[in-house]
């Protein structure tokens, strides 16, 4: 019979036996899966694990700090944070095509991660032999599905592993579903903000800016997104929605009026959705007063944004993210 205690005990014992006195590394994305996988392996082998977090500059407000402080505080894990913002922004300069953006972000991510790996190996010696991944059961099924479905979007972490991988993989969540992973995370003492986190795409805000990705636009979107998240949380709606992408239409401008002046600013799109598994989704019927509050605050507080629009499309035909 399945209990979180059993899963943890079983995995901890198996990982200890497998790793022995060798070392492991783990990439943290800020998401639930990699956080729980890392915490589990940390419980098993302690300081023999080093985590790597690549800050690509496409994260939301406070996200990097959450990994740096809260996750480390809860687990005591050794963490290497790589600041790669400049590198990513440079690689993304001039690019507006969604698939091109996704491929660039995926490629740069792997490069930075491999570089960090090499540095850790240089420091620690040849005893680093294991790579921890937060692969879940649905990931395994989807990757092996072979249905020949058309490629709709290139998810950054699918097929991203090099063929000549020199590491043995540790995937302690391979048999679990998301809700089970959350229970394991909770049992391991991870903070609520990490365990109950809504999905956030690996390419981050880079695929929530329709148009070229620049630092200025990212800062603007970060502000708008933080306001939306704050108000949804304040209204107690976090558990009712699957996620709420906030999108900047950077190539669109519309006329507005603020104070007694004309403005010519960008629209922000709110995309709150309800879903079971992200394969299909419906737009969330959020209370009008919450939408009104978000709209008022974003147009008042975010420079260059003079309009907030609501996406009322289900998936299909729309996908959840705009790119
Ligand atoms: P779409 O936009 O395809 O999104 O309807 C379905 C779910 O997947 C998330 N998503 C991603 N997650 N890497 C990820 O880790 C990605 O490249 C990626 N693209 C989309 C999206 O946020 C939604 O939950």
> What's 38's domain CATH number?
3.40.50.620
- Identify whether 167 is part of a domain: yes
Residue 94, pLDDT > 80, answer yes
How far apart CA 184 and CA 43 sit, in angstroms, is: 12
11 closest CA partner among 46, 37, 33: 37
Among the candidates 160, 195, 230, a domain finishes at 195
- Runs of H (alpha helix) within 20-136: 32-45, 63-65, 72-75, 85-92, 98-124
pLDDT at 161: 56
Among the candidates 169, 195, 221, a domain finishes at 195
- Identify whether 241 is part of a domain: yes
Quick check: CB of 278 below 6 Å from ligand 1? yes
Tell me the per-residue pLDDT of 208-246, one tens digit each, with 9 for 90 and over. 999 999 999 999 999 999 999 999 999 999 999 999 999
Query: 190 and 242: one domain?
Result: no
Query: Which ligand 1 atom lies nearest to the CA of residue 322?
Result: 2
- The enclosing domain of 271 has a CATH number of 3.30.300.10
State both tokens at 223. 């502000």
Query: 63 and 140: one domain?
Result: yes
Tell me the per-residue pLDDT of 247-300, one tens digit each, with 9 for 90 and over. 999 999 999 999 889 999 999 999 999 999 899 999 999 999 999 999 999 999
CA of 136 to the centre of ligand 1 (A): 15
Residue nearest to atom 6 of ligand 1 (CA): 278
Query: 189 and 217: one domain?
Result: no
| Sequence-separated (6 or more) residues with CB below 8 Å from residue 24 | 41, 45, 48, 49, 50, 128, 129, 130, 131, 132, 170
Quick check: CB of 320 below 6 Å from ligand 1? yes
Quick check: CB of 136 below 6 Å from ligand 1? no
How far apart CA 246 and CA 249 sit, in angstroms, is: 10
| Sequence-separated (6 or more) residues with CB below 8 Å from residue 174 | 135, 136, 137, 140
CA of 202 to the centre of ligand 1 (A): 8
Residue nearest to atom 22 of ligand 1 (CA): 201
How far apart CA 320 and CA 279 sit, in angstroms, is: 9
Query: 100 and 153: one domain?
Result: yes
Q: What is the pTM of this model?
A: 0.90
Range of the domain at 254: 208-310
Does residue 254 sit in helix, strand or coil? strand
Band of pLDDT at residue 148, cut at 50, 70 and 90: very low
Query: Which ligand 1 atom lies nearest to the CA of residue 31?
Result: 15
- Runs of H (alpha helix) within 165-321: 178-187, 192-195, 215-234, 288-301
Considering its fold, how many domains does the chain have in total?
2
CA of 139 to the centre of ligand 1 (A): 12
Residue 192, pLDDT > 70, answer yes
Distances (CA, A) of 202 to 24, 41, 205: 22, 22, 9
Quick check: CB of 201 below 6 Å from ligand 1? yes
Query: Which ligand 1 atom lies nearest to the CA of residue 29?
Result: 15
Quick check: CB of 202 below 6 Å from ligand 1? yes
């Amino acid at each position: 019979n399945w209990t979180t205690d059993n899963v943890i005990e079983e995995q901890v014992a198996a990982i200890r036996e497998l790793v022995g006195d060798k070392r492991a590394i783990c990439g943290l994305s800020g998401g639930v899966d990699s956080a729980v996988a890392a915490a589990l392996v940390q419980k098993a082998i302690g300081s023999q694990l080093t985590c790597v977090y690549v800050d690509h500059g496409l994260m939301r407000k406070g996200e990097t700090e959450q990994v740096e402080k809260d996750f480390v505080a809860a687990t005591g894990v050794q963490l290497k944070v790589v600041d790669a913002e400049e590198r990513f922004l440079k690689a993304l300069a001039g690019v507006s095509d969604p698939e091109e953006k996704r491929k660039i972000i995926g490629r740069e991510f792997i490069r930075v991660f491999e570089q960090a790996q090499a540095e850790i190996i240089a420091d620690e010696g040849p005893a680093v032999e294991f790579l921890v991944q937060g692969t879940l059961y649905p990931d395994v099924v989807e990757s092996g599905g072979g249905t020949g479905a058309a490629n709709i979007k290139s998810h950054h972490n699918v097929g991203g592993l090099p063929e000549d991988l020199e590491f043995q993989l540790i995937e302690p969540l391979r048999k679990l579903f998301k809700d089970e992973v959350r229970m394991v995370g909770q049992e391991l003492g991870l903070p609520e903000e990490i365990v109950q986190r809504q999905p956030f795409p690996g390419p981050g805000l880079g695929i929530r800016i329709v148009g070229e990705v620049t630092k200025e636009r990212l800062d603007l979107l970060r502000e708008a997104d933080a306001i939306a998240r704050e108000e949804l949380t304040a209204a107690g709606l976090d558990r009712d929605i699957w996620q709420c992408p906030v999108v900047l239409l950077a190539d669109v401008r519309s006329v507005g009026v603020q104070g007694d002046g004309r403005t010519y600013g960008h629209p922000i799109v709110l995309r709150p959705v309800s879903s079971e598994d992200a394969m299909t989704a419906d737009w969330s019927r959020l209370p009008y007063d919450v939408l009104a509050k978000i709209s008022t605050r974003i147009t008042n507080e975010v420079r260059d944004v003079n309009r907030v629009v609501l996406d009322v499309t289900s998936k299909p035909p729309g996908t959840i993210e705009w790119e």
